[in-house]
Each structure stands twice: as structure tokens, then as C-alpha cells.
Amino acid sequence: MALIDLAQAAGRAPARTLWTREDARRIYDLPFADLMFEAQTVHRRTFDPNRVQMSKLLSIKTGGCPEDCGYCSQSARMPGEKLKASKLMEVERVLAEARKAKEGGATRYCMGAAWRSPKERDMDMVVAMVEGVKALGMETCMTLGMLSPEQALRLKDAGLDYYNHNLDTSERYYSEIITTRTFADRLETLDNVRSAGMKVCAGGILGMGETVDDRIDMLVTLANMDEAPESVPINMLIPIPGTKLENAETIDALDFVRTIALARIMMPESHVRLSAGRTEMSDETQALCFLAGANSIFCGETLLTADNPGEDHDAKLFRRLGIEPEELDPLG
């Protein structure tokens, strides 16, 4: 496969390869069995194929968001009926929820806020949440919108392990979905997160009317970062009534699986998370996603505002597939 040798171009070692859309597309278009074989081969080099990492989400501040993301139930700018905006949740309540999630097998606790970016006055509470969850012995993750370099450093110092900030789609398609910030803004926050020394969680959504090339371009951007994100959430759009995308055409399940396989092959060391949309997916589609190299999920009954399959359903599916939850690596 002809990949560009970046190190050669820059005249420095170690050699590193950059993905091109054409190379990625060739893999995406392989006969399905060949694609699955390739994905499994890559997956097994780094991971135990029968282990899946479990994260739990909590919305610490819901609704009333000033951004206009066309898929989101929490945008104050969506055309239809809006969710009631809540205040930032009390720290003790967040910690009580995190304890429950730990008992349910989650190793990472992800806290999300419907903000464009955190306000300085909220930072003390957010920091207390990170410290409290960390003290429970869980990994911590937050998704609070755009971060300045200073905010990223403050969260890192508090013990935040991961920051989630999705590209959502390709650069080309981005402005069709969101107009209140740019693709470049997203990259800048990811840069601030990485420079502060945190692990990066960045992925996107499939099924928003994008083309196959848009999906591929998004993965190319992620895989070509100086360091690929450690965590790559791939969401299937949950069509929310009242949003701009409520009637978006559903993505073909096998196209979804192909995109997961491509993410696995392009980012062999990353956890690929089968994120939103599992409630709307058959068990068989989920099984194919795990076979394609997905090795992380959100557990529990709710995501941020939408439904998730819940503990009983997932425990049964894991039993049927012989999958065990991944344990926390004591060496981090």
C-alpha cells in the first residue's frame, strides 16, 4: 500500500505514515469478508478480542445550549420543542451516580455539559467532580465544549484522564450540521487537550446524510493527528424529534460496520467505541461491530438524554458473545 512517508518528507525519524483518502477508501470498499478479516487481524495484535471497555455517561448540565448542532436534543436553537435547561448538578449527586456506575462495572466515568465552553465560575465545581470521581478509583472523562489552554491545564491538574470532543463529521460537511463554531475550532480544542497532557477522545456521528467520503475524511483527520486519539467514539445518529436531523435517512447497518472496521484498521491502538444508537441497533449488528474491532461501549439505561440498552440487555449480549468487561489497567 502506498502511504506517504511523513518522516522522509520532514527529514526526521521515526518514520510515520499518513493516511490518504484513496488508501482508506480502498480498504472501506473491500469485500466484506476481507474487510472483517483485516480488521480482526489488526485488532488482535493489540487487544484481547473478547474484552470490551465500559464507560458510563452522566449529563451534569442538560439543555439550553447556545450551539446549533443539528443532531442535538440540548440545543436551544433547535427548531422544535426544547428540553428544559438544568443547572449544573451538585458535586455530591455526581459522585453518588459515579459510585453506582462503578458497581455496574463501568471503569470510566464521563461527565457531559451542554455548554459552548465552560464558564470560569463553573470551573471549581467541575474540578471537584473530577477529583471526587478519581478518588473512587475510576478513570475520568469530561465533555464540556471548547477549552482554552488554561482550562485544559486546570482539568489535567485536577486528574482528568480523558477529554471528549468530537469532530462529528468531515471538514467539508461540518457547516451543514453546525454553524456556531467551525471544524478548526474543534481541532484547536483537541490540540489544547493534547498539549495539556490528557488523553483524547474524539470521533463522530454516522447517519447525518453524509457521504462515504465524508466518513472516510473524518477518520483520515483523526488517524493523521500527531498522536491518534486514544478513544474514538463512533455514534449512530439518534434522530431526535424537533431537531434539524429528525428525518435524516438511517445509515445502512453494514456501512456502519464497515466504518467501524476502517477506524480499527486506521487507528490500531485506539479503543473504538460503539457509542450512541445501540438501542436502535439489532444485537446482530452490535456483534458485527465488535467483530469489526469496536471494543468500548457506554453502559447503563441512558446516554446524556437518550436511551441506551441498559445493564440487563448488555449483560445478556455479552454472555451470548462470550465478551467480558475490560478491567482497569493498574499501570494506567
In the block, cell 450512541 appears at 276
Tell the smallest beta-carbon distance from residue 118 to ligand DTB (Å): 15
Contact status, residue 273 vs residue 234, Cβ threshold 8 Å: yes
Tell the smallest beta-carbon distance from residue 329 to ligand SAM (Å): 25
Of 108, 186, 215, 273, the active-site residue reads 273
- Asked if residue 243 binds ligand SF4 (CB under 6 A), the reply is no
289 in catalytic set: no
Burial 295-319 (b: 16+ CB within 10 A, else e): bbbbbbeebbbeebbeeeebeebbe
Beta strands (DSSP E) in the chain are 4-5, 17-18, 51-61, 108-113, 139-143, 162-164, 199-201, 204-206, 231-236, 271-274, 296-299, 324-325
196 binds, among ligand SF4, ligand DTB, ligand SAM, none (CB under 5 to 8 A by kind): none
Residue among 46, 112, 30 nearest 267 (CA) = 46
Of 72, 181, 194, 299, the active-site residue reads 72
Give the SS3 label for residue 4. Answer: strand
Residue 177-216 contact track with ligand DTB, rule CB under 6 A, x = bound? --------------------------x-------------
305 binds, among ligand DTB, ligand SAM, ligand SF4, none (CB under 5 to 8 A by kind): ligand DTB
Tell the smallest beta-carbon distance from residue 116 to ligand SAM (Å): 8
Residue among 143, 181, 234, 153 nearest 67 (CA) = 181
Structure letter (DSSP) for residue 272: E
User: How many residues bind ligand DTB, per CB under 6 A?
Assistant: 16
Distance in angstroms (rounded) separating the CA atoms of residues 199 and 3: 26
Distance in angstroms (rounded) separating the CA atoms of residues 273 and 276: 9
75 binds, among ligand DTB, ligand SF4, ligand SAM, none (CB under 5 to 8 A by kind): ligand SF4
Give the SS3 label for residue 32. Answer: helix
In the block, cell 451470548 appears at 320
69 versus 98: smaller Cβ distance to ligand SF4: 69
Near ligand DTB in 221-240, by CB under 6 A: 233, 235, 238
Residue 121-160 contact track with ligand SF4, rule CB under 6 A, x = bound? ------------------------x---------------
Single-letter residue type at 114: A
Structure letter (DSSP) for residue 190: H
75 versus 296: smaller Cβ distance to ligand SF4: 75
Of 110, 186, 278, 299, the active-site residue reads 110
Tell me the binding residues for [2Fe-2S] cluster. 110, 141, 201, 273
Interacting residue ranges for ligand DTB, rule: CB under 6 A:
57, 73, 112, 143, 164, 166, 203, 233, 235, 238, 275-276, 303-306
- The catalytic site residues sit at 65, 69, 72, 110, 141, 201, 273
Tell me the binding residues. 65, 69, 72, 110, 141, 201, 273
